């Protein structure tokens, strides 16, 4: 009788463990705070009733992980403070200034995934870059732009390498995914068609292929 019960339990265990891992997986929340002139505001960001906190960078960008839909953010800049209930939002774009800052969800920020999340908030660091940002900086080639904008990204033996060359014999190339489909290189992707790029230094979702890092590209029509 015990053996009959044990076998179904053993078969069920991988599914239980997988469900637990999915429940605990990190979910990014991205924010952007600008003043009335369009400049970034380096606000301090606190999650009420939590020890989570971060600081926006000079562009006004900040990121956190695993926020609840019912959480409330407290944004502070100098002596000014404002509380913003998330109400299920997955991102936040704030216009700071006037009598009361205005805010709303921004799908562009959602698309950047872990782009704004600080390294201290997420061990698998990444860089979020928009196509508009690359064009504004004068780049006309996607590979050249990423090599210039992503810290640690290198071109070694014709391969884009994120984590450094780990072996002489095996490839250290990052996995390139465009609109959900793996591609062999960036040569076939026009920088003018790129909506956003997220560079992750590791992603278990792609198994062994993601171990060398992943370059996630989303084009404007997706």
CA dihedral 98, 116, 59, 46 (to 10 degrees): 40
Give the model's pLDDT for residue 26: 66
Distances in whole angstroms, Cα of residue 66 to Cα of each of 71, 111, 122, 200: 10, 16, 10, 18
The answer for residues whose C-beta is within 8 angstroms of residue 28's C-beta and 6 or more apart is 63, 64, 65, 112, 113, 114, 115, 116, 117, 122
Please check the confidence at residue 222 and state whether its pLDDT lies above 90.
no
Q: Over the stretch 116-167, which tens digit does the pLDDT of each residue have? A: 775 444 334 455 688 988 999 999 999 999 999 887 889 998 899 986 655 5
Residues 39, 41, 42: CA angle, nearest 5 degrees: 140
Cβ-based neighbour number of residue 46 at 10 Å: 18
Closest among 212, 156, 210 to 147, alpha carbons compared: 156
**What mean pLDDT comes out for the span 186-191?**
92
Give the model's pLDDT for residue 11: 34
Give the model's pLDDT for residue 4: 44
Greater confidence, 180 or 84? 84
Give the model's pLDDT for residue 118: 59
Give the model's pLDDT for residue 23: 34
**What mean pLDDT comes out for the span 177-197?**
90
Percent of the chain residues past pLDDT 70, beyond the cut: 76
**Confidence band of 191 (pLDDT split at 50, 70, 90):** very high
Residue 135 phi/psi, 5-degree rounding, is -70, -40
Q: Over the stretch 41-85, which tens digit does the pLDDT of each residue have? A: 999 899 998 878 888 888 899 988 889 999 999 999 988 899 999
Whole-model pTM: value is: 0.47
Structure tokens at 96: 């700071």
């Amino acid at each position: 009788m015990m053996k009959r019960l044990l076998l179904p339990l053993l078969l069920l265990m991988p599914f239980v463990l997988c469900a637990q891992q999915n429940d605990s997986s990190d979910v990014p929340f991205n924010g952007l705070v600008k003043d009335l002139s369009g400049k970034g505001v380096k606000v301090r960001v606190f999650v009420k009733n939590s020890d989570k906190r971060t600081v926006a960078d000079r562009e006004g960008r900040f990121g956190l992980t695993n926020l609840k839909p019912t959480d409330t953010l407290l944004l502070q800049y100098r002596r000014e403070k404002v509380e913003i209930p998330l109400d299920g939002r997955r991102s936040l774009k704030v216009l700071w200034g006037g009598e009361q800052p205005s805010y709303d969800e921004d799908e562009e920020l959602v698309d950047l995934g872990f782009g704004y999340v600080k390294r201290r908030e997420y061990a698998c660091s990444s860089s979020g870059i928009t196509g508009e940002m690359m064009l504004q900086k004068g780049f006309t080639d996607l590979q050249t732009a990423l090599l210039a904008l992503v810290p640690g990204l290198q071109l070694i033996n014709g391969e884009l390498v994120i984590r450094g060359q780990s072996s002489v014999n095996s490839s250290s190339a990052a996995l390139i995914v465009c609109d959900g489909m793996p591609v062999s290189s960036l040569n076939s992707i026009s920088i003018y068609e790129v909506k956003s790029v997220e560079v992750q230094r590791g992603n278990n979702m792609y198994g062994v292929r993601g171990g060398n890092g992943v370059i996630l590209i989303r084009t404007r029509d997706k």
